[in-house]
Chains A and B, each alone.
Chain A
Amino acid sequence: MARENGGRSWLGAAGSNVWYFFNSLKLTISVLISLAVVSILGTVIEQNKSAGHYAGVLGAKWAKVVMLLHVNNLFHSWWYTALLLALAANIVVCTFERFPPKWKSLLNHKQEKFDPRIIEKFAHNRSVSVSVDAATANARVGRVFKKMGFNVITSNDGGDHFFYAWKGALSRLGSDLTHVSLLLILAGSIIGSYAGYKDYRFINVGDTIEVPNAGFKLRLDNFWIDQYDTGQVKQYNSLVTVIDGGKEALTKQIWVNEPLAYKGIRFYQSDYGMAWDKIDTAYIAPVKRKTGDTGAPVPVKWGTEEKLPGTRYSVKVTGYLSDFAYDEKTNSVGSLTPEPNNPAVRIEIYNAGRLISAPWIFLKYPGIFPAIPADQDVDIAFTNYKPTLYSGLSVNKDPGTNIVWAGAIVMGVGFIFAFFMYHRRVWVHVKETGGRAEVRIGGMINKNTLLFEKELCEIAEYVEKEGKKT
């Protein structure tokens, strides 16, 4: 390639040198080994930690090196990406350089006539002398090739008979398909990292969320945990409904390993817990203020009004905090933690349809403040509750994934071609001399020479002994 550079601009020459640089198998091996070696670094040094963490583990000096060379996020560093791109450039250039001649000389190659002397030059060759005429020998050669599934072209030139046979030419395409598949996988991962996102949402049972950048909503209808008889967790399940354009589009049960996919966005079961701001049911009981006797508790579902037997009142649960706290400065209430350390419900108390009071009452501190200040006889207690569960869902969009899977399929086909098919080419020359047919057989295989030796042996034996043995 260098000699063509004579009259070209420096740009052309540089381009040609770059091309030459990437057209190298030694580069391939170097890049593959370099990637392997630096990847080890990325598993030994914990990824995505703070500078302080590295200083603690490795000492200040090495921590500085780690941060400077982006070893803390090695697999996304510019130089790791550069190595991957070098591999990609290597693949592209090698494919452009090697594929067209390969196509021409190997896949479309049909050699009708050849100099019989080439046969002896092949590393694999056999000569047999059979006491039959040329026509019989030719028929045997034709039959053995047919039996072994070879394609054959034949020709004659006076007393010289030529066979050119081939099989498994697709094997040559295997490496190209594999290389293209790697480019596809790389492209898919790049597209995914730019056009995709990964998000995370908690949804309380019964609630609906707006799906980020999607134009539809998701409602969690239920969440439950399946257990084995031993009590170990078997599976976490969420029943979810997609609401698109105000209508219920789809309901599906998802669990770990069974995501929901809708319009390119996927929802994964990844967490759960008890809601800190909502409960399913509160158990509310009337209390006699004078004696402190607590009546039978009534289950009151979130948001519905229930009558309290033995009193004039009915109650409705409108608020819940798992770890109730009052902030004097802002005169507001909130939950200190998501843990149920101090569960409290806000209830609305009605008398004959009229709201008379809306206090917070506490599970752990019954009667600390009277629920109905105006009533000297009746108080109201919060005795128990049934929590609302929330489900933590990963919300992902990765438009590159399908390209990666396409790459995986191409790779699979490439492997079948490359590793389980072999391209054999066999040249046979038959000539009759002195009543005996001299058959010379030789050829090449692109891999698996041991197999080829056996096949040549089989061909030679067939030509020699057909009719006598088996």
Chain B
Amino acid sequence: MILSLLFFTFSFVFYVVTTLLYLGHWAFRKKWLGQTATAMAYIAVFSTTMILIMRAAESGHAPFSNLYESMVLFVWATNVGYLVLEYKHRQRVIGVFVMAIESLAMLSAALLPYKFKSVEPLNPALQNKWHWMADILRHVGLEKYAIGWLDFHVFTTFIGYGAFAISFGLGIMYLVKGYFEDRGRRNAFVDIFPDTSMLDELSYRAIAWGFPFLSTGIISGAIWADYAWGTYWSWDPKETWSLITWLIYAAYLHARVTRGWRGKRAAYLAVAGFLAVIFLYWGVSFILPGLHAYA
């Protein structure tokens, strides 16, 4: 518990500092601030990776089994996705929005009650391993780290969530920029945003990653449910909300190729989609009853 907690504390600080650096870069336009922010983002992603590795070492299974671990995975996926985006498109102002989401995510993970954080042995329903993988890992004595449909389900789903978080940030930026452009107003902070067509395209790129991963997550979850409960779909609130999220993003993808729906309306759908993700992730776990004991 100790090392992963230590890395968690470090990471939390790193994310807050990274967010502040990106904010500083946005406000003061100093190149060194931006470069430091990027460097800090890399350090943060390394530290987040270490949380997951330490967690796996401490629990003796893949680190995807409770709300706390999945939050860390979410932050990790979002950060990796953002760094790829920054590397390809060099738009550091996006970092302000993405890193702010990540800092909030770290904060909420830190505030989770102990029972959502503790390292627990896997209960019977969570023990789903691919036999072929266990067979291979047995030769090197790491059989217990074999993953199965469940881990695959969590992993792909959270890559999707990470991509949706980025598209949410971009969608907000699009709407803000659009708001100023529509009224012909200028604002130094908004002018530095990439232009709306690029924000729209990047938001689409993020969703074009997130959507197949969410779908893979839903399907692998269905495969697991089929193994564990004998039905691949039972309209449990978590399943239904994953479908709701999927439907919103499916609507987004069609909106982008439909006259009158691209641009602003699509951006609203991208924002709505991530709000649905947040509810799917936290709201359903804490408010609605269902089969998903953890996220």
The complex places the Cα of A25 from the Cα of B289 at a distance, in Å, of 35
Q: Which of B201, B228, B231 contacts A257 (CB 8 A)?
A: B228
Q: Are A36 and B219 interface neighbours, CB within 8 A?
A: no
Q: Which of B198, B222, B231, B276 contacts A398 (CB 8 A)?
A: B231
B46 close to chain A: CB less than 8 A: no
Q: Are B124 and A32 interface neighbours, CB within 8 A?
A: no
Q: Are A32 and B235 interface neighbours, CB within 8 A?
A: no
Name the distance in Å between A392's Cβ and chain B's nearest Cβ: 12
- Proximity string of chain B (240-275) to chain A, C-beta cutoff 8 Å, 1 when within and 0 when not: 110110011011001101101100000000000000
Interface size grouping (class) on chain A: 35 or more
Q: Which of B125, B148, B209 contacts A256 (CB 8 A)?
A: B125
A268 close to chain B: CB less than 8 A: yes
Q: Which of B122, B211, B219, B243 contacts A408 (CB 8 A)?
A: B219
A258 close to chain B: CB less than 8 A: yes
Name the distance in Å between B228's Cβ and chain A's nearest Cβ: 5
The complex places the Cα of A26 from the Cα of B205 at a distance, in Å, of 22
Q: Which residues of A contact B123 (CB under 8 A)?
A: 232-233
Q: Are B237 and A235 interface neighbours, CB within 8 A?
A: no
Within 8 A of A (CB), among B16-62: none
A43 close to chain B: CB less than 8 A: yes
Q: Which residues of B contact A25 (CB under 8 A)?
A: 254, 257-258
**Interface of B (DSSP majority class):** helix
Within 8 A of A (CB), among B123-163: 123-125, 127-128, 148
B204 close to chain A: CB less than 8 A: yes
Q: Of A61-69, A209-217, A444-452, A458-466, which binds chain B?
A: A444-452
Name the distance in Å between A43's Cβ and chain B's nearest Cβ: 4
Name the distance in Å between A228's Cβ and chain B's nearest Cβ: 5
- Proximity string of chain A (270-313) to chain B, C-beta cutoff 8 Å, 1 when within and 0 when not: 10000000000000000000000000000000000000000000
Q: Are A256 and B228 interface neighbours, CB within 8 A?
A: yes
Q: Are A43 and B241 interface neighbours, CB within 8 A?
A: yes
Contacts A198-B231, A449-B201; A411 near B244 (Cβ below 8 A): no
Q: Which residues of A contact B230 (CB under 8 A)?
A: 198, 259, 266, 268, 270, 394, 396
Contacts A43-B237, A419-B209, A449-B201; A411 near B258 (Cβ below 8 A): no
Q: Which residues of B contact A350 (CB under 8 A)?
A: none
- Proximity string of chain A (31-44) to chain B, C-beta cutoff 8 Å, 1 when within and 0 when not: 01101100110111
Name the distance in Å between A229's Cβ and chain B's nearest Cβ: 9
Q: Which of B229, B240, B261 contacts A42 (CB 8 A)?
A: B240
The complex places the Cα of A230 from the Cα of B125 at a distance, in Å, of 18
Contacts A28-B254, A29-B258, A448-B205; A234 near B247 (Cβ below 8 A): no
Q: Which residues of B contact A232 (CB under 8 A)?
A: 120-121, 123
> Which chain B residue shows the least CB distance to A28?
B254
Q: Which residues of B contact A419 (CB under 8 A)?
A: 208-209, 211-212
- Proximity string of chain B (154-175) to chain A, C-beta cutoff 8 Å, 1 when within and 0 when not: 0000000000000000000000
Within 8 A of B (CB), among A205-253: 228, 230, 232-236
Total A-B residue pairs with C-beta atoms closer than 8 Å?
122
Q: Which residues of B contact A266 (CB under 8 A)?
A: 230
Q: Which of B202, B208, B240, B258 contacts A26 (CB 8 A)?
A: B258
Within 8 A of A (CB), among B209-225: 209, 211-212, 215-216, 219, 222-224
The complex places the Cα of A54 from the Cα of B18 at a distance, in Å, of 50
Q: Are B248 and A33 interface neighbours, CB within 8 A?
A: yes
Q: Are B235 and A75 interface neighbours, CB within 8 A?
A: yes
> Which chain B residue shows the least CB distance to A394?
B230
A138 close to chain B: CB less than 8 A: no
Q: Are A257 and B212 interface neighbours, CB within 8 A?
A: no
The complex places the Cα of A209 from the Cα of B254 at a distance, in Å, of 52
Q: Which residues of B contact A36 (CB under 8 A)?
A: 244, 247-248, 251, 276
The complex places the Cα of A29 from the Cα of B266 at a distance, in Å, of 11
The complex places the Cα of A396 from the Cα of B148 at a distance, in Å, of 22
Name the distance in Å between A40's Cβ and chain B's nearest Cβ: 6
Q: Which residues of A contact B124 (CB under 8 A)?
A: 233-236, 255-257
**A contacts, CB < 8 Å to B:** 25-26, 28-29, 32-33, 35-36, 39-40, 42-44, 46-47, 75, 189, 198, 228, 230, 232-236, 255-259, 266, 268, 270, 394, 396, 398, 401, 404-405, 408, 411-412, 415-416, 419-420, 447-450
The 8 closest A-B pairs by CB, nearest first: A415-B212, A256-B124, A32-B251, A36-B247, A43-B237, A257-B128, A268-B230, A396-B230
Contacts A42-B235, A256-B228, A419-B209 aside, 17 further interface pairs with beta carbons under 8 A come to A25-B258, A29-B251, A32-B250, A33-B251, A35-B247, A36-B247, A43-B241, A232-B120, A255-B124, A257-B128, A266-B230, A398-B231, A408-B222, A415-B215, A415-B216, A416-B212, A449-B201
